[in-house]
Structure 1
Amino acid sequence: MPPGMPPGFPGVPGMQQPVRVETDERLTPKDIDFQPPLVICLSIISRLLGKPVSSATLKAGIPQQEGVITAASIVRSAERIGITAKTVYREKLRSITKLVMPCILLLRGGNACVLVDTTNNAARVVVPGHGMDETEIPLAKLEEEYTGYAIFCHRKSKLDKRASELKLIKTKRWFWGVLAKFWPIYKHVIGASIMTNIIIVASPLFVMNVYDRVIPNNATDTLWALAIGIVIAYTFDFLLKNLRSYFVDVAGRNADVLIGSKIMNHLMSARLDHMPESAGAVANNIREFESLREFFGSSSLVALIDMPFLVLFIVVIYFIGGPIAYPIFVAVPLVILVGVFLQIPFQHIIENHYKESTQKHALLFEIVQGLETIKTSMAEGRMQARWENVVGLSAHSNSRAKTMANISITFSVFITQMVSVAVIITGVYLISKGELTVGALIACNILSGRSMAPLSAVAGLLSRYQQSRMALNALDMLMEMPSERPEDKEAFHYGTIEPSVTLTNVSFSYPGTDKAVLHDVNLSLKPGERVGIVGRTGAGKTTLGKLCVGLYQPVEGSVQVGDIDLRQMDVADLRRKVGYISQDSLLFYGTLKDNIAFGLPEADDQSINAAAEIAGVNDFVRDHPAGFGMMVGERGTSLSGGQRQAVTIARALLPDPEVLIMDEPSSNMDNQSEYRLKERLRSYIEGKTLIVITHRHSMLDLVDRLVIMDRGKIVVDGPKQAVLDGLRSGQIKVSL
């Protein structure tokens, strides 16, 4: 190994896999560094730029397949934390100026490092897995590993709150801002449209000259000259139209991906207390993006760009035929006025159709998710009636919308036909007076049809405008939901935090309800303390657990982990330290391994197996021929309730959290499975802070302290044995 080379540097064994602690014993989740090299490098960059952010925060929410995170994903992650990043190609390291350092170098084998500085023969780098220590490496050796690609990063300039005194309206900037990025492409589209519309004028001029000059004089030489010219013009028109369509498609496709990604990213980070109650309603809102995309599709955009050329065609018609242009002068504003007038009833119809469509999708989701209950309750007839009712309403409003759209389009076609008749009649009179030739009349008629064509397309656009406007408003409502990671909030990375939990004067009620679920709750857990929470159904136990993991925020009071208010912490940092096992054992379509490593797809098989062993997943995996590759079905329907619980427990244990909250972890397990789970958890929870929310008193064997809740309040809090003795003796009178 060359001098100055740190252990594990690219090209040296040990860097191809996540950094790990080698022991003779079985690895536990805590022994593995799950963060990919690019994520660690961006975390290092954030520290060097004065915006320290943890690797867990950077990785949260960015797309990854099989644990692989690309440079494009890292650029997106950097933008989210206020760092402008760009992937560039620099063939040689010497061509990277010091002005852009520190930067990330992409190395061979999927590795990366942070380049801090360079000299004539050496480079100072920070290697993932070695903290913030800088190491000097021979420049030639680094060149061997360098792929030629780097990621340049710098902090975004940001105004402070004093600048917000001038209120600037930025509604829907998430949509228009993305489209604005493709303005350079749209400029090419406009340029191509200008050329094609100019070429269109050549066709009627060709016809006019043939009728007026070639045919009367039998000028075949002129005919061939004109024919060659028009063929060349048509060839350019063919190429320009295809080029225009290609540019529109490229811009539309890329905008579609970016906007769709932005919508989904915001949905994933939205606060649950501001989410709509119906999942079907949310899905319908996102589905409306299709209407928006169609409006800004190729035909719509081209029609809008062609509209201004009406003036050009009318001027040419007036130049050729004079009064023949008058019918077009009248027809153009008439078609536009009728289209605008129809928007008034059309808007009302579209709004009703949107509400009915939302209701239809909400009911559909409810039926699909509850099909088993519907069958066992013999409620098929009732749900069928509700479905037919809402589908009937939706079909009626859809029919009315189509009728209004057809009126607009057919009226435009009718006016176009009338214009053609008026042009011919006017032209005949002008010919009889000797003021117009037959060729000029034919040319004017062709141009009149071409000038009215954009109006027919715009009539269809006006009918789709209301649908697109409603879709944009629906999506804007979704995008305006408060996020767990607000843009104006800079979360602080605290590093090591002691695993204590404190609730101070916490009150909470779910949105849309007046009833408070928690009333002035005060609870404190020291590091390593193990607490059981029991109480009647509806006492607020589950809500308390969700507040501790940041799924909801208290209406009053504060929740702290390690004496730090959760609202100061990034949710990724919080959920890395606080593991949560929900009483709803929800799995996703895929393999058993995929579901255990759901939030850590880069976790290796040893870590997954260790978590599965503790949770009891291995008890049923061993008997299945596919092992961890077995498919679990949607929502885990291929597994029993107890098996699903075991998988969700393994999922929560995999990151090895310092605080573990378990909400009814064994409610679907048999006594033997529950006993094995308790025994395996005993050694795992040593030194960890534990909260067990349960109705099964046998799970209380894991805790030393017992809290009883009733009607949103803590009514009893003390040592477990003392509380249990008080309940048995009647000194504590609480119904459980």
Structure 2
Amino acid sequence: MSSNPRPMMASEQLADDLRNHNETAFKKVSPFSSCLLPLLRELGWNNYAKELIEALPHFSEQIDLIDVRNMLATLGYESTPVKTSVSDLKKELYPALFISDNNRVLLLQGLEDETVFFYDPESDSYETSTALDLQGTAYLFTDNHAHHGSNTPELTNDWFGSLLQRFNKMIIHLLGMTFIINLAALLVPLFIMVIYDKVIGAKSAETLPFLITGAAILLAADLGLRYLRAKLLGVTAGRLDYLIGVETFKRMLYLPPLYTERSTVAAQLSRLKQFDSVRDFFTGPSAAIALELPFVILFLIVIGILGGVIALIPLAMVIGFIMLGLFWMPMLNSKIMRAGKARTDKQRIIMQTVAGRKEIKSIGGETVWWERFRENSGESVLSNYQTFLSNNVMNNLAQGMMTFTGVAVLGVGTMQVMAGDMTIGALIAIMALVWRVLSPLQSAFLSFSKFQQTIKAIRQINQLMKLRNECSNGKSGLILEKLKGDIRIERVSFRYGPDRDPALLGVSFQIKPGEMVAISGNTGSGKSTLMKMIAGMYAPQAGSLQLDGMDLRQLNAMDLRRAIAYVPQQIHMFHGTIAQNIRLNNSLATDKQVRDAAAEAGVLDEIMALPEGLDTRIGDTTIDRMPPGFLRSLSMARAFVSPAKILLLDEPGASLDDESDKRFVEQLNKIKGSRSIIMVSHRPSHIRLADKAILMEQGAVIHAGSPDEVVSLLLENAA
């Protein structure tokens, strides 16, 4: 047993409070956490404590204002900060979380006849005042929950566009700053022209100090504005990166399993990685280039005013850049796509090698695998070389076009100066302005592939956001908590795709409350698909699946899964402590309930023998050193900690030794009759524990009867 228990973090203390119906930690951790529960009551929040536990920050040593706002956002309450005083806050804006200028935290509950009702976390008291005149920031809350009678918002076709609308003010500020920056850049060549034509030409040195001072002020202002623009771009990029990352990850997490489970891990990681190009666009030089491009027209107009027909030369070069891009970019894009595919293939092989190196060595496949990696590496190097060569040619062409434009402008300008149609100062000013025109054009031309990657990523984000997730606004948790475990399956059919054979075909049977049913059959007979359907992972495409008379398709998928304890064939433990892993299916479980579940799974003594007991961290490489039977028992404990009346076991005997298997049989005998148990198994010893057994073949039930009958059929088929 652990002699030196790990100190509890703030989030764990709050979770324990909620499990034990206590508020001690909330009042002790921080003034912000102290205000959380009273604020939720004022907002009318009456949902499950389980949701609040799941909204708590993980591994947080302190609960600050940001944590509280994030928790409230997760629960459906967006907050908006407003600089104001308590006396100026209107009645309809209550309740509000108020932070005074001297960092006093108050929960403003309501306003009646100029009397403010508030909660003071420092004194842990509810008070009233008619003279509470504090200056500070009030955080006002908006309830984003759908209400009765309100329509569910339609999924937009341009999610990214609607997201950008939230940054309209920032974008306007950025364009305004860029305009002033370009105006300053425009005045510098004009200043040079005045120096050459008015100061040097007229030999009037008296005005020189004033001109230089003005230019210095202009340059200082230009540097300051560039710094502020970079800072504002960084803030915009950070907020966009956070919002896109969080929302896309949430959408992928809440998509129906059928959308994602057929994709490889490498493909899903690559898809998420592509979204980073949107962030890179705003954090890199591309965003500044995009802001500069509209003002190229301004410089062309000024060149036309100063030099007349000379403006046609950079204008022709602008058209030349566009034509070159239209000709060159399709060819470059094909090379970039080839290089990207080669990198993805190489990454996939590396990931497969890391995940399956034991299997590769066990079959002596090192040479074959190395040869496959060598071929992929060669393709990656070749495609990257061709992409690099194309980029280099394009860079040289763009640089050559810029140089040719400069020489052409200088030549034509020299002729105009010699003819007396233009001054030397005007020619020098035009040369400076020409570079101001061509530099952003060249940069945009060379960054064209990045622009395309960003546009492609935005399209993928919009496509992802158009998919409907499983979350519904209706709550069925209260209904599902009272499940008895009566399962009725009537002529259920299901296939994974329109071109795939049916995984289930007309399956029908019934499981009564407290009954134990064993399902057996050859690989590919539909057993695991049926289990996942009962667990709410898939919906029947034909027929019906009813729990206590309720059709599965009418229930909230997340609430359904929480009401069912499911032990999959492949055991996964996640980063965190053993207690946190056991609580995954029931975050409200107290420490005693966690220990009882571990004892019921027959693994409590092994857990407490570890140096840190239930606080032992797992989920990383440590699980590779743990016996499969121990991990299987942890998964069983995770199922037992749930109060669910339905227990699903998918091949529970996989990877168990004789001792672990005996312990598992004892566990089943103990819980038999208290829950409806559905077990997929091939072991006769497991099947004979059931009240009845079902034999499946090619997605259909071919026999339903006593366990002995099914075992006999299995043995006959094996013979």
Q: TM-score, normalised by structure 1?
A: 0.80
Q: Which residue of 1 aligns with 2:141?
A: 151
Asked whether the 8 Å contact 1:612–1:618 carries over to 2, the reply is yes
1:343 lines up with 2:336 in the alignment: no
> How many angstroms apart in 1 are the aligned matches of 2:107 and 2:644?
28
Q: Which residue of 1 aligns with 2:691?
A: 704
> How many angstroms apart in 2 are the aligned matches of 1:90 and 1:309?
36
Match of 1:421 among 407, 428, 447: 407
How far did residue 391 of structure 1 move? Answer: 3.1
Asked whether the 8 Å contact 2:493–2:504 carries over to 1, the reply is yes
- Secondary structure of 1:436's counterpart equals coil
How far did residue 590 of structure 1 move? Answer: 4.3
Q: Which runs of 5+ in 2 are unaligned?
A: 1-12, 23-33, 100-104, 120-124
Q: Which residue of 2 aligns with 1:637?
A: 624
- What is the aligned-residue identity percentage? 25
Indicate how the Cα distance of structure 1 residues 157 and 540 shifts in structure 2: closer, same or farther if over 3 A, else same: closer
Indicate how the Cα distance of structure 1 residues 47 and 14 shifts in structure 2: closer, same or farther if over 3 A, else same: closer
Residue type of the alignment partner of 1:674? D
What is the number of equivalent residue pairs in this alignment?
672
Q: Which residue of 1 aligns with 2:595?
A: 609
How far did residue 19 of structure 1 move? Answer: 4.7
How far did residue 422 of structure 1 move? Answer: 1.3
- Secondary structure of 2:696's counterpart equals strand
Aligned pairs (5 A) from 1:515-594: 515-594=501-580
Indicate how the Cα distance of structure 1 residues 352 and 568 shifts in structure 2: closer, same or farther if over 3 A, else same: farther
> How many angstroms apart in 1 are the aligned matches of 2:417 and 2:666?
104
How far did residue 226 of structure 1 move? Answer: 0.3
How far did residue 562 of structure 1 move? Answer: 2.4
1:272 lines up with 2:262 in the alignment: no
How far did residue 666 of structure 1 move? Answer: 3.5
Aligned pairs (5 A) from 1:707-722: 707-718=694-705, 722=706
How far did residue 461 of structure 1 move? Answer: 2.2
Match of 1:406 among 374, 392, 411: 392
Indicate how the Cα distance of structure 1 residues 205 and 41 shifts in structure 2: closer, same or farther if over 3 A, else same: closer
Q: Which residue of 2 aligns with 1:320?
A: 306
> How many angstroms apart in 1 are the aligned matches of 2:82 and 2:414?
67
Asked whether the 8 Å contact 1:280–1:363 carries over to 2, the reply is no
| 1:622-665 alpha-carbon deviations (Å, 9 max, x no partner) | 33324331545348212121122112222222333221111222
Indicate how the Cα distance of structure 1 residues 162 and 592 shifts in structure 2: closer, same or farther if over 3 A, else same: closer
How far did residue 196 of structure 1 move? Answer: 0.5
Aligned pairs (5 A) from 1:74-473: 74-79=71-76, 85-86=78-79, 99=92, 140=128, 151-153=141-143, 170-171=156-157, 173-275=158-260, 276-473=262-459
Indicate how the Cα distance of structure 1 residues 325 and 94 shifts in structure 2: closer, same or farther if over 3 A, else same: closer
> How many angstroms apart in 2 are the aligned matches of 1:466 and 1:15?
46
Match of 2:634 among 629, 632, 647: 647
> How many angstroms apart in 2 are the aligned matches of 1:653 and 1:367?
35
Indicate how the Cα distance of structure 1 residues 292 and 588 shifts in structure 2: closer, same or farther if over 3 A, else same: same
1:692 lines up with 2:679 in the alignment: yes
Asked whether the 8 Å contact 1:57–1:570 carries over to 2, the reply is no
> How many angstroms apart in 2 are the aligned matches of 1:731 and 1:196?
81
| 1:214-239 alpha-carbon deviations (Å, 9 max, x no partner) | 22444332110000000000010000
> How many angstroms apart in 2 are the aligned matches of 1:505 and 1:104?
54
- Secondary structure of 1:439's counterpart equals helix
Indicate how the Cα distance of structure 1 residues 163 and 603 shifts in structure 2: closer, same or farther if over 3 A, else same: closer
- Secondary structure of 2:141's counterpart equals strand
> How many angstroms apart in 2 are the aligned matches of 1:160 and 1:20?
36
Residue type of the alignment partner of 2:170? I
Asked whether the 8 Å contact 1:535–1:695 carries over to 2, the reply is yes
> How many angstroms apart in 1 are the aligned matches of 2:409 and 2:634?
76
Residue type of the alignment partner of 2:428? I
After superposition, the CA RMSD in angstroms is: 4.1
Asked whether the 8 Å contact 2:576–2:619 carries over to 1, the reply is yes
Asked whether the 8 Å contact 1:274–1:511 carries over to 2, the reply is no
Range that drifts further, 594-603 or 666-675: 594-603
Match of 2:500 among 510, 514, 522: 514
Asked whether the 8 Å contact 2:646–2:677 carries over to 1, the reply is yes
Q: Which residue of 2 aligns with 1:20?
A: 20
| 1:422-455 alpha-carbon deviations (Å, 9 max, x no partner) | 1211122122112222222211111111111111
- Secondary structure of 2:625's counterpart equals coil
Residue type of the alignment partner of 1:671? D
Range that drifts further, 305-314 or 251-260: 305-314
Q: TM-score, normalised by structure 2?
A: 0.82
Asked whether the 8 Å contact 2:49–2:588 carries over to 1, the reply is no
Residue type of the alignment partner of 2:259? H
Asked whether the 8 Å contact 1:588–1:634 carries over to 2, the reply is no
- Secondary structure of 1:308's counterpart equals helix
- Secondary structure of 1:181's counterpart equals helix
